[in-house]
């Protein structure tokens, strides 16, 4: 099964991103033919700073490689290294009714928030359709906010195929319902916009501990049993634990021998340990940016072959010499 995921490089990753999106993606590599790219053309719709966009793109590549994207198994590239996608975007534009784009929730939400609409923001779903259709994608794992974009891709592909024959594979979205919403330090959904996130790559253990200490907890005096249910520390810690270790932690809560401070320390250790290998890999990549460039170039080369084949078919179908 050919699976495509697109990554918006938007800065530091937090453990909500990890458990909600990255871990399931990394696990997919074992089972499916995974294609993953960094959607830097998409980021242009909101970017205001060229240096920052370059940095974010490169950092995202390093973070994903460190956390487990395996270039031996997964084709991993930067969107702009396969610019054929922009040609397809134009071809698909003809099959994209204005009304379809006007109904896009993500566009309407952005306009409602006061973002001044421009054509790139408006036609964002057509570029996403081009990403997906360029490589005969069968499945697209997405968050709920992106389902409509995959549906629009199908609509566009059906219209194109009706006119020119079966050129495009119709993709399906996959939403992983098992993935829970990871809470932040205030118990609300962890998000970089709510200042409640715990980042995956904290510079030092001390900083990570400081962040964990900010998790909201009640003030039960030491010596009394603690309630693990509904405790934000427990909820975050349990992401890192198998069933046996969860039961052990529950027993520690009930024993009354430890306070929230102990559990915050334990949580810091769990997080630090979980990402220790990724941190080492990340250091190595940061010290060897050429290796990262080589990996991305290899991915782009593989994609170039696929993209050229598909574009030859599309050009011929529509009558471009």
CA 62 to chain centre: 14
Report, in Å, the least distance between residue 146 CB and ligand TRP.
Answer: 5
Binding mask 23-52 for ligand TRP (x = CB under 6 A): ----------------x--x----------
Report, in Å, the least distance between residue 282 CB and ligand ADP.
Answer: 19
SS percent in the chain: helix, strand, coil, step 5: 60, 10, 35
Q: Scanning residues 79 to 98, which ones bind ligand TRP (CB under 6 A)? A: none
Q: Does 271 bind ligand TRP (CB under 6 A)?
A: no
Q: Does 157 bind ligand TRP (CB under 6 A)?
A: no
Cα dist from 259 to 210, 219, 220, 243, 250, whole Å = 17, 9, 8, 22, 13
Helices 105-112/119-134 angle, 10° precision: 150
Number of residues that bind ligand TRP (CB under 6 A): 12
* 172-174/139-141 β-pairing: parallel
Report, in Å, the least distance between residue 124 CB and ligand TRP.
Answer: 7
Q: Which is nearer to ligand ADP, 10 or 288 (CB)?
A: 10
Give the one residue of 57, 123, 146, 238 binding ligand TRP; rule: CB under 6 A.
146
Q: Which is nearer to ligand TRP, 42 or 232 (CB)?
A: 42
Report d(CA 43, CA 41) in Å as an integer: 5
Report d(CA 136, CA 60) in Å as an integer: 25
Q: Does 140 bind ligand TRP (CB under 6 A)?
A: yes
- ∠ CA 155-109-188, nearest 5°, is 115
Query: Could you tell me which stretch among 48-56, 127-135, 187-195, 272-280 binds ligand TRP (CB under 6 A)?
Result: 127-135
Identify which of 189, 177, 277 has the alpha carbon closest to the alpha carbon of residue 236.
189
Q: Which is nearer to ligand ADP, 9 or 208 (CB)?
A: 9
Q: Which is nearer to ligand ADP, 10 or 297 (CB)?
A: 10
Give the one residue of 3, 5, 96, 239 binding ligand TRP; rule: CB under 6 A.
5
Count, residues in the chain: 321
The binder of 200, among ligand TRP, ligand ADP, none, by C-beta within 5 to 8 A per type, is: none
Report, in Å, the least distance between residue 134 CB and ligand TRP.
Answer: 10
Q: Does 20 bind ligand TRP (CB under 6 A)?
A: no
The alpha helices in 44-83, defined as continuous H runs, are: 50-67
**Can you give the binding site for ligand ADP, defined by CB under 6 A?**
10, 16-17, 20-21, 143, 181-182, 189-193
Q: Scanning residues 54 to 83, which ones bind ligand TRP (CB under 6 A)? A: none
Give the one residue of 56, 60, 88, 128 binding ligand TRP; rule: CB under 6 A.
128
Report d(CA 29, CA 64) in Å as an integer: 13
Q: Which is nearer to ligand ADP, 143 or 165 (CB)?
A: 143
Q: Which residue has 């084949």 as its token pair?
A: 309
Identify which of 176, 137, 172, 147 has the alpha carbon closest to the alpha carbon of residue 33.
137
**3-class secondary-structure state, position 25:** helix
CA 140 to chain centre: 12
The binder of 61, among ligand TRP, ligand ADP, none, by C-beta within 5 to 8 A per type, is: none
Cα dist from 294 to 76, 245, 255, 285, 290, whole Å = 11, 41, 53, 11, 6
Q: Which residues of this protein are in contact with ligand TRP, per CB under 6 A?
A: 4-6, 8, 39, 42, 128, 131-132, 140, 142, 146
């Amino acid at each position: 099964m050919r699976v495509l995921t697109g990554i918006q490089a938007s800065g530091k990753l937090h453990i909500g991103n990890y458990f909600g999106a990255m871990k399931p993606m990394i696990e997919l590599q074992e089972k499916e033919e995974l294609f993953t790219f960094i959607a830097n053309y998409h980021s242009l719709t909101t970017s205001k700073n060229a240096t920052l966009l370059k940095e974010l793109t490169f950092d995202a590549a390093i973070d994903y490689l460190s956390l487990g994207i395996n270039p031996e198994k997964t084709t991993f590239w930067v969107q702009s290294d396969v610019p054929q996608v922009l040609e397809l975007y134009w071809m698909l534009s003809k099959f994209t009714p204005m009304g379809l784009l006007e109904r896009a929730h993500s566009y309407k939400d952005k306009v409602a928030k006061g973002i001044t609409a421009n054509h790139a923001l408006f036609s964002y779903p057509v570029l996403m359709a081009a990403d997906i259709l360029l490589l005969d994608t069968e499945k697209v794992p997405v968050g709920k906010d992106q389902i409509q974009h995959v549906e629009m891709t199908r609509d566009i592909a059906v219209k194109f195929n009706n006119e020119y024959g079966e050129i495009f594979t119709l993709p399906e979205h996959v939403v992983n319902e098992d993935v829970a919403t990871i809470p932040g330090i205030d118990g609300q959904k962890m998000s970089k916009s709510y200042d409640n996130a715990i980042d995956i790559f904290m510079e030092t253990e001390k900083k990570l501990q400081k962040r964990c200490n900010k998790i909201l907890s009640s003030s039960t005096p030491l010596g009394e049993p603690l309630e693990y249910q509904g405790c934000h520390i427990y909820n975050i810690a349990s992401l890192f634990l198998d069933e046996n270790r969860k039961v052990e932690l529950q027993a520690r809560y009930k024993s009354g021998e430890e306070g929230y401070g102990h559990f915050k320390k334990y949580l810091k250790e769990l997080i630090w340990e979980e990402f220790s290998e990724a941190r080492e890999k990340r250091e190595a990549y940061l010290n060897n940016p050429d290796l990262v460039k080589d990996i991305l170039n290899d991915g782009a080369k593989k994609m170039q072959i696929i993209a050229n084949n598909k574009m030859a078919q599309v050009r011929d179908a529509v009558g471009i010499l």
